[in-house]
Amino acid sequence: MKPIIGLINFSTLCKKNSGSFISSRESDWETHKQSVLSRSRLEERLFYFEQVSLKQFDSQVDVNYFEEFRLVILISTLLHDDLKKKVYELQVGRPWMIIEERGEEDWLDATGAISRALISLIRGRATKYINEDKVCFASFRLDDDDFLSTNFLKSLSSYINDDNAGKFVTFSHGFKCCWISKRIVNLVRIHKPLIAIGLSHIGQFCTKTMDFSTDPKTVFSGVNHYKIGESSSVIEDITPGMFIWSQHSNQDTHNRFKSVEIEDYWREIPNENLYKDLGGYDGIESHFKLNDA
C-alpha cells in the first residue's frame, strides 16, 4: 500500500480562512464563533465522530495499513477544555491519528498538515522509500459527522500510481441518513459525484527535497468541490455504498448552525431493507431507530 493521509476539520475557527464563516450565513464573526462553539453542537459532533466515524477506520487500519495511513484532525484552540481533552483521548490505541490545533489568527493550513504527516510517515519508512525519488500518495477529506466504508482505504489505494498523479478520485455512490436524537431514522441511496466525503487527490512527493512534486490539493482550500472537474481530471469510483452523508439539526451545510427539525424526516417511509445494505460499516446497526423497542 502507498501512503494515504486523511484530513478532518473538527470545528476550527480561523479568521484567515473565511469560507466556513461565509457559508454559515452569520452576520458577524463573533456570532459565527458562538455558533461553532455551542456546547450542544460540539457534543453532538463528537458523538458522531467517536461512535461512528473513527470506528470505520479502526476496522480497516490493520497490520497491512497502519504504517501507510495517517488521519490528521484539525481542532480549534478555543474548544472547551473538557471536550478538547476527549478528542485527544481518542488517540489512545490509534497511533495513526494526529491532532493539530489552530488558533483564531492562524491559517487553516490543510496542505501543511498533510505535508507534515507525509514527511513523518516517509521518514518512519525510510528503508522502504530510500531508493524512490518520488512517492505517490493520496490525501482525502472527511467531515467529523460523515462516514466512509470499511472498504475505503483498500479502494483508494488501487488508484495511487504515477499515471493518476494530479487527479482527483470521487466515490460517488453512498447513502444519506437522517439523525434525530442521535438515532438514524431514515436512509436513502444517493449518487453524488464530487461530494466532499472521501474526495481524494493523488499526488507525488519528492523524497530528496521532501516537498511535493505535484501541486498539492485539498478541498479545504476554499474551492467549490463540485467544480473541481472544470480544472482537474477526475476519476469516478462507482462502487456502491462508499459513504454515509449525515443530515441532522446541527449539520454544517444547508441550515448551517441553525437548530432546525429535519422536515418530516424527509417525508419518506424508512425502508428497512436498506439498512441491511450497510455491511461495510462497523457498529452502525446499533444506531438504527428501527432497532428500538
Cα(71)–Cα(3) distance, integer angstroms: 11
* Three-state secondary-structure class, residue 204: strand
Cα(26)–Cα(252) distance, integer angstroms: 12
Q: How large a percentage of the chain has pLDDT more than 70?
A: 83
Cα(241)–Cα(280) distance, integer angstroms: 8
**CA torsion angle for 165, 71, 199, 247 (degrees, to 10)?**
180
Tell me, what's the pLDDT at 113?
94
Q: Which of 93, 96, 78, 237 is nearest to 164 (CA)?
A: 237
| C-beta separation of 45 from 83 below 8 A | no
Mean pLDDT of 160-185: 92
Cell numbers placing 287: 444506531
Contacts of 58 (CB under 8 A, 6+ apart): 94, 282
Query: Is the C-alpha dihedral spanning 26, 30, 34, 36 positive or negative?
Result: positive
pLDDT for residue 218 is more than 50: yes
pLDDT for residue 205 is more than 70: yes
pLDDT for residue 63 is more than 60: no
Position 104 confidence tier, pLDDT thresholds 50, 70, 90: very high
Cα(87)–Cα(72) distance, integer angstroms: 12
Contacts of 78 (CB under 8 A, 6+ apart): 13, 33, 37, 103, 104
Least confident range of 23-27, 60-64, 95-99, 142-146: 23-27
pLDDT for residue 284 is more than 90: no
* Of 251 and 56, more confident: 56
pLDDT for residue 32 is more than 50: yes
Cα(168)–Cα(216) distance, integer angstroms: 11
Tell me, what's the pLDDT at 269?
53
| C-beta separation of 239 from 174 below 8 A | no
Tell me, what's the pLDDT at 222?
59
Cα(7)–Cα(167) distance, integer angstroms: 18
Q: Which of 216, 31, 260 is nearest to 116 (CA)?
A: 216
Residue extents of the structural domains in the chain:
4-171+191-239
Q: Compute how many other C-beta atoms are within 10 angstroms of the C-beta atom of residue 34.
A: 12
Q: Compute how many other C-beta atoms are within 10 angstroms of the C-beta atom of residue 215.
A: 11
| C-beta separation of 9 from 218 below 8 A | no
pLDDT for residue 101 is more than 60: yes
Contacts of 56 (CB under 8 A, 6+ apart): 147, 148, 149, 150, 152, 281, 282
Give the mean pLDDT of the chain: 85
